[in-house]
């Protein structure tokens, strides 16, 4: 290849590929530096957030308990459909009538 063609291809690559990347990075850095810094939470807000977090944890535990109960009931009902029926006397605890 001709050295002038290599130089031209390099220049085109830098203008159309590397320059937009550099501009985007510079723009991102510029925006990041001009972003306002969030004020730290005061003590009252911190306590409220902690109580909210504890309440959410308690709700999550209760939902898990309800879910476990639902799984158990579903399992029992599914197994009940597959077990063989007991004789009439076995259900009531007495003996079956004889003829």
Return per-residue pLDDT of the chain as tens, 99 residues.
788 888 999 899 988 899 999 999 999 988 887 767 777 778 888 899 999 999 999 999 999 999 999 999 999 998 887 656 666 665 555 555 555
Cβ atoms of 87 and 96 within 8 Å: the answer is yes
User: What residue spans define the domains of the chain?
Assistant: 1-33, 43-82
Q: What's the token pair of residue 37?
A: 């810094």
Q: Closest Cα partner for 2 from 10, 18, 16?
A: 10
pTM exceeds cut of 0.75: no
């Amino acid at each position: 290849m001709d050295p002038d063609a290599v130089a031209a291809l390099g220049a085109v690559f830098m203008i159309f590929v590397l320059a937009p990347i550099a501009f985007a990075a510079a723009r991102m850095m510029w925006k990041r530096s001009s972003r306002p810094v969030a004020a730290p939470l005061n003590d009252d807000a911190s306590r409220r957030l902690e109580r909210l977090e504890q309440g959410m944890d308690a709700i999550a535990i209760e939902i898990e308990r309800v879910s476990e109960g639902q799984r158990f009931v579903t399992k029992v009902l599914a197994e009940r459909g597959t077990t063989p029926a007991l004789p009439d006397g076995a259900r009531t605890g007495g003996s079956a009538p004889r003829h």
